[in-house]
Structure 1
Amino acid sequence: MKRLTLILTALLVSTFILAGCSDDKDETKESDNNVVNEENNDGKDNDSDKGSSEITTEDQLDLKLGDTGKFDTTLGTYEMTVESAELLEELDGVESEFDYLILINLSIKNTSDHDLDVEDLMYSMEVTDNIKGSGHPDQAHNFESVKELTGIIKPGEEISGQFITHAYESDEYYFREMEGNVAGGVSNQVIWTISADEAK
């Protein structure tokens, strides 16, 4: 009887030991799987980073009339030259909502390897009299005599047109990429400073 009790006790102890080892192996497998999954996730993250377009062109913050700015955006790359600007009190019978209308003559050259929709490029531009404040978008579609920039521009091609918007009286105006796009990583920042004297 004692012998049978000893055998049963030994069997129970062996069973507990084997169960404990099995749990350890499962935990080891789980932790190994976690490491593999983390490595796979890291790999996926890296791949997605490589797939996203990276803005590499430097900001150009001190351009003047006549200067060409280089844009590096998620839509593509292009160059914009601001040729001249004019402050008007009214145009086509439309008076400024503020103090003036500012009319900007410019040209855009597509430096990408694919077509660009010029309207998409112009939607992102604005004029402000306060470099730290918000700006006013293009209103060319509201004026019959303004040459609105529209259509598709092919790689290597250049198009000319005009930007017009309402503006307050100021000594200087800033024509630039919208700040929200720059903050969101959509484009580098390009800013032309236009003095009121140059635009009169």
Structure 2
Amino acid sequence: MANPLIKICGLSTPESIASAAAAGASHVGLVHYAPSPRHVEIAQAAQLRRAVPPGVKAVLLVVNMAPDALAQAVAAIRPDVVQFHGQESPQECAAFRAASGLEVWKAKGIKTPADLAEAQAYAGALDRLLYDAPAGKLPGGQGIALDWSLLAGYRHRIPWGLAGGLNADNVAEAIRQTKAPLVDTSSGVESAPGIKDVDRIKAFCQAARAIQS
């Protein structure tokens, strides 16, 4: 299998963006969600977006954001991708995708085969479905892995990626089991909540790229 795409999420400094890009990340994520320890305000996110080098896509992560506020955020930040991480419906995702012309992702917590089947309702509404661990108090960034065996051999109806509890120690095995075309990490490359670690970013990208076709 080909090397997967790699998203490093929850970045909050130009240095961490540069580190992720240098390590080989294809996507960097900016979280605009106040309860998260990785939250960045719109002005800060716009500054960080300007630090993203060519060839790397900037992903704006939002949670149940009102349409008008989202439109203002997108206009200011100018992301390549918007990732919905709340209870946004397939219809809401499709409407935003059509109106914005942007690449749209949706994260879905997966615990059972029924959850996986239900997530396929987003086919046609998204550019990518991101399978994550079920949400706790906060959506994402909790370091909790989902059951990879749910995805082994599954026939996905939509391009997808794997998130939830991935780090340098387990990402290669996760890719082997699931054949994930994209892997996403946040807390797995941190030294403390919201604080990215350069060495952990590098180690994660190396581990994710260690599996050859």
Q: Please, what TM-score do these two structures have when normalized by structure 2? A: 0.24
Q: Which has the larger radius of gyration?
A: 1
Q: Please, what TM-score do these two structures have when normalized by structure 1? A: 0.25
